[in-house]
Each structure stands twice: as structure tokens, then as C-alpha cells.
Amino acid sequence: MTIFEPDATADEPIPAGTVHPRDSSKDTPTSVGRLGETIRGFIERWGTIWVEGEITSWNVRGGNVFGRLKDLDTDATIAFRVWSSTTRRLPDDLSVGDHVIACVKADYFVRGGDFSFIVSAMKHVGLGEQLEKLEKLRAQLRREGLFDADRKKVLPFLPQTIGLITGEKSDAERDVHRNAELRWPRVRFRNEYAAVQGDRSVPDVLAALARLDADPDVDVIIIARGGGDPQHLLGFSDERLVRAVAAAETPVVSAIGHENDHPLLDDVADLRASTPTDAAKRVVPDVSEQHALVQQLRARLTGRLTLRVNHDIAQLEQLRSRPSLRDPDAMLNSRSQEVHLLSSRARDVVDRHHAQAERTVSELRASLRALSPGATLARGYAIAHHDGGKVLRDAADAPAGAQIVVTVERGSFAAVSEGEVAESAEPQQAAPTRRMES
């Protein structure tokens, strides 16, 4: 959309001194400065122009903005400048990708030969106004934490079943299936078809999401749509859909549009894929890569085991080379001789101790026998005692007529005391009785 409003000087005659093509030739060329002034003179006669396009560049330097505006349908672009005095009157959230209309006036800088447009007004229009609302919603959802990385779920390494929400027989469906099956031929899908643009888009996708999220066999859900007009992608920024994806128990992958498309679904999904093809590549592993990895791990394990076995074999060979293992009989014979020698020494020690013990016992037995009352009786002595067993130590204890018992070496007999008698010569010692040693 381009609306031209002529300047008040547009109908005035061309200023004097303006160069005309017929006024110059190879013999009488005009100067660069005069040509520049002529261009500026013509340009300044233009009025302001309201132009519609997409901002593709937006750079702020010294409070001024230098950018470019791109045609919505072609690759045509224009350069524009916004002076600092004007930027204060513009919306604060203008940025690259915005769909805007701007009031511009052409300007030619003679010294640099630069042509651009000076912006006096700019605002979002159409989709730009909707995107402005979406950006406000994006900021609100971000504040609520719906885009936080710590709430995103980890995708399974190899999903049992992939749930796919897309348009029936769409390029997105074909791309996801083909690339997933190339990477993992046995991959399984459960497709849920939905309108991916228009009034039915959001309700259809919400219903499909609910069905897949309730299926215990579905391990991951892909919401896919090919690229297109940004207006057609607005359904994937619907607040109802964004909140439903955030609440889903199953991990969700967003694969909407192309790399530059960025609906709110991308922010809330557990994984954002740039395209449906990219989603297929990121959801299932590559079977050839996994096979190569298994072979690599197997080779590494084999190498480690081989090193360990070789190390153990070397240790065994080293142990076998030792004398004790090389000729174990020699070591046993040597040890056997030592055992016999020690055993002989032990027997000698035991015999000596036994003989010494026998001599000691004999000596103790002889001493005990010499000190015993029986030995005294054997030498001819007798022991007199009352019937009650009390030994008579004094003659006065056995007055005349007293009944006493006399014990000799070979028995005892009863006697009657005749009283105390006068001391006489020592009694004759009886010859000791000889005994047979047993």
C-alpha cells in the first residue's frame, strides 16, 4: 500500500540552475555537485508518502534509527531514517519483522550521494497490530513461568509411538513421516488430523492434543505445519493452545512454519523444531548412527577386555616363572626336610622334658614318702591314741587302766595302760622292713 501526497512545491517550475540532460555533453559535462543538487531539487518536490512494508533492519545510533523496509510481496526494499525527535513519538516495541505503515519523505544527501526516506510517523497495522497483542501475551506468559527451561520435559530417546497433529495429506505430514522412517524404519505414528489455519484451527488442534495426551502408548507429540503467511500461523499463538501444551503430560514438539516463524507455541513446547523435517530428525535417533555407536562401543569394550586378559596372562606367566611355581616339588621337599628336622627336635625336647619330669616326680615321691607317718611306722615306731582318735603326746594322758589303741606299721591293737614308767635306755630300733618295688 503506497499513498502519495504531493508537496506544496510539486507544481512549481523547475528551479533555475537545474541541470537538464540536454544541457550536458561529453564536451560540456556538468559537475557532480550540480547533478547532486539537481537530484535533491527534484526529490524535495516530492510530498510525503504513506508506505506499507516489513521492517527488516532497525539500528539505533545516537538516538536516531537507521533501517530498511521491505515490500510484503517482492524483494524490493528502501532505506529509512528516523531522527531522535521523531522516535519519541513512535511505539516503543517496533522491531525487525514488524508489519507497519510509515509516513516518509524522500531525502537525498548530496555529499554522500545517499538516498533514503525520512520517517515522520510509523505504526503497526493489520498483522502488526495482532503481533503487538501477541507480544504482550508472550510477555505475560513468560512472567507466569510457562516458558521456563526447568519446566520443559525431556524427550524419550526412542519413542514407542509418535503422535502427529497436522493437516491431512499435508507436506508437513509427508516430511515428518519420510524423515523419521529414514532415520528409524520401525518408527510408529498415530496421526491426528486438524485444520492448521482458519477458525477451526485452534479447536481442532486442542481436541487432537487431548486425545494424544490421553493415549499411554504415545511418548511424544509433534504439532507440525508448513510455512505460509504469518496471518495463517496466528492460531499457533492462541492462548488456549499455549496453556494446553504447557499442561500436557506428554512432551510436545513444535514444528510450525519455517526458521523465521516464531509463534508462542515454540516458546511453551518442550522442544522447538525449525521445520517439520527438523522435528523428525530430532525426535528419533538415526539407526545408522546408533549402529555405528554400538560397533564403536563394542570395539572399545573388546579392546579393554583384550588388554585386561593380556595383562592377566602376563602376570600369570610372571608368577609361573618364580621358583616356587616352576618346581613346586623341590620346594615341598625342602619344606618336608625342614618339617622332619623340626619334628625330630621337638621329640627330643619333649623326651628330655618328660625324663626330667619323671625324675622330679620320683624325687618328690621319695621326699613325700620320707615325711609320711607310714615311713615313721616302718622304722619301728608306734602311735598311741585314745579310742576317739586323739594322739597321746604325754604319758600323763594315759593313766593306769586307760584303754588305748596302738598303731604300728602293719595294723593297730588295743592296750591297757599300766601308768607312767620311769625313763630307761633308748628303745631298740627295729630293723626296717624291706618292700618290693612295684
Domain boundary among 285, 300, 324: 285
> Does residue 21 sit in the same domain as residue 111?
yes
pLDDT range class, residue 37, cuts 50, 70, 90: confident
Question: β-strand 77-82 against 114-124: which pairing, if any?
Answer: parallel
Q: 290-305, pLDDT tens digit by residue?
A: 888 888 899 999 999 9
> Does residue 208 sit in the same domain as residue 260?
yes
> Does residue 216 sit in the same domain as residue 238?
yes
The pTM for the full model equals 0.46
Q: Facing residues of 79 across strands?
A: 68
> Does residue 33 sit in the same domain as residue 173?
no
The pLDDT score that the predictor gives to residue 236 is: 92
CATH number, domain with residue 259: 3.40.50.261
Q: Say yes or no to pLDDT of 433 above 50.
A: no
Torsion of CA 409, 415, 418, 419, to 10 degrees: 60
Give domain status of residue 225, yes or no. yes
> Does residue 141 sit in the same domain as residue 255?
yes
101 in Cβ contact with 1 (< 8 Å): yes
The structural domain count of the chain equals 3
Q: What 3-state DSSP class applies to 284?
A: coil
Percent of all residues in the chain with a pLDDT value above 70, rounded to a whole number: 89
Burial 362-396 (b: 16+ CB within 10 A, else e): eeeeeeeeeeeeeeebbeeeeebbeeeeeebeeee
CATH number, domain with residue 100: 2.40.50.140
Give domain status of residue 316, yes or no. no
Mean pLDDT of 253-263: 82
Parent domain of 116: 2-125
221 in Cβ contact with 250 (< 8 Å): yes
> Does residue 142 sit in the same domain as residue 197?
yes
Q: 2-20, pLDDT tens digit by residue?
A: 444 445 444 455 555 666 6
Number of continuous H segments (helices) and E segments (strands) in the chain? 12, 14
Cell of 392: 597321746
The Cα–Cα gap between 370 and 324 comes to 63
Q: Say yes or no to pLDDT of 242 above 80.
A: yes
Q: 413-427, pLDDT tens digit by residue?
A: 888 888 888 765 455
pLDDT range class, residue 228, cuts 50, 70, 90: confident
